[in-house]
Structure 1
Amino acid sequence: MATIHDVAKRAGVSIATVSRSLNGHGRVSSETRERVLAIAASLDFRPNRTARGLVTGRLGNIGVLLPDVANPFYGPILVAIADIAQDRDLGVFLADSREDPRAEERLCRRLVEQVDGLVLVSTRMPSAKIAAVAAQRDTVLVNRLVDGVDAVVVDAAEGMRAAVEHLAGLGHRRVLYLDGPAASWSGAAKLAGVREGAQASGVELILDGPHPPSYLGGREAADVVRDADVSAVLAYDDLIAWGVITRLQQLGVDVPGDVSVVGFDDAIAEGMLDPELTTVRSGGASMGATATEMLLRRMAEPDYPVEHQRLSCELVVVRHSTAPR
């Protein structure tokens, strides 16, 4: 069986260059990488992760920590991370904090010992705690900004402004916003966008929350919607919107005949809800892919300048849960 030494000797390069070529990151010219990969393939070389770790000091794993693995919003993010990690022969360790910031801290301490880098998705931890984690392991944030830590976010305020404008364009003048977790960084951005959109569109805004970002949280909020004397509801996320719609229907409230409902994330597959949900598409897969590439670059180039990438939210995906007033 061929070894990394055999590949290096045949290619006329160092073992470190072979390792960087195979990992797909680090400063290696495209010509060298292609030659190394071709030689490795011809020799049927398959790197041993344990041996590679002894040479590089790397564990060969990255960690992903998120608030709720059952939330469909996180599915595309995880798939994008896993796809890139698999291409780079990296293992992925997944941890679910169940919306508990204290659990996040405990899980981070465990992950730091087992991975080379971390992707923290929608973390609720205080900024100081996040900075401390990033000082121990290369870290990229998704849906959160902290000074000194790489991050990728969507412009949630932009998306919520568009959602309010959509409702205003349908003639709605009194709108209820069902807010999410108080500790959510993206929630603050969403609320700012809702307020800006309402002011610009001449919409009277009613605020209620916080609510758990879940189907049950939406069902519990449905009584508030029924009694709020509004013609439209804008929810923190699609799960809350889903719960609101199903419970309102059980209460005899027609959606969208009596009340229009808009969600956020485009996380509910078409056909799972009737009426199908009008929502804001936030691009989870793009965030996951961008975050993973940022992490791999940080691992390869520790001195690279810290970067905050802000992705645009797509305009409202108009379906059947909204109608003219």
Structure 2
Amino acid sequence: MPKSSALLTRLFGVGLAAALAAITVTLALTGRIGLYINPESAWFAVGMSVLGLIGTVVSFALPLGAEADHGHDHGELHGHGDLHGHGAGHTHEHEHQHAHESAHESAHQDAPPTSRRAARAAVLAGPDTAALAGDTAAPGAAVTPVRPRPDWRLVLGSAAAGTGGLLATGIVAVVLVTPPATLSAELAMSRDTGTPPLFQGADTVALATTGDTSSFGVGEWASVFATATNPEAFEGDEISLTGFVTPSSSGGFGLTRLVITHCVIDAQPASIPIGDASDVPATGEWVTVTGVIRDRDGALVVEATGVQTVGEPEDPYEY
């Protein structure tokens, strides 16, 4: 393998993997990995990244071009006689082969010069054509050299590998250049399908009815608001929640947070309606709302008693 090809192979393989692993470890050490994945699964991502960095260090022990070495011995595959356990049968086979080669060589020596020249021309075109020319060409007949056909599977495979390597390089470059940032309110609104996603199960709704809800976030309350079959049970419950402002078609505004299950790719907006707000903040602004839950014709809504503008939390997502 040429040195340039070996360098590209090493870059697209080990180099990109090491870069992503280093970024993951750095985000974990700086406490910002929660901007990309659920912190509960960060241990797995960091562990795999550490293993990847160790593998990168070990790979430097391999010389350039070792990726193309398949570990095959392309030398002589067979010995002779009893050394390989073939015995007399193997010796007879070699004797037959040598006899055939002697006869074949004798025929070439007896052939006219034109036939021999055609055979030599065929040798230049490739071994298969040479064999064909030597075995079938009639005395005095011209043999047209046949060029070997390109292996299109190899060409397409190389093109696909190169394209994938360039795309991966672009992704790594974007991650390196772009500082970590939270998803925007506009993205949250674009992912809003109009149907409240259910982030919690029936046990959360049961806990909200009978237990302590002080640890509930916007995601838990959004599930309760969407699935409660006895909304009157929550009448008068006090809440204090932080989120960003999104528009609401029923008046007031929506208090929204993005909820991550595994990583930011699957982030979905969770929102609860805030009514009776005298001054609606701007869309995307972070606020802390204190209020009381009210049952309005079977639909739960928060009656705000206070809306305070705050800065974006250090961890803007819920999980």
Shorter-chain TM-score category? under 0.3
Bigger Cα Rg? 2
Alignment TM-score, normalising by the size of structure 1:
0.26
More helix by proportion, 1 or 2? 2
TM-score, length of structure 2 as denominator length? 0.26
Q: Which has the higher contact order (CA 8 A, sep 6+)?
A: 1
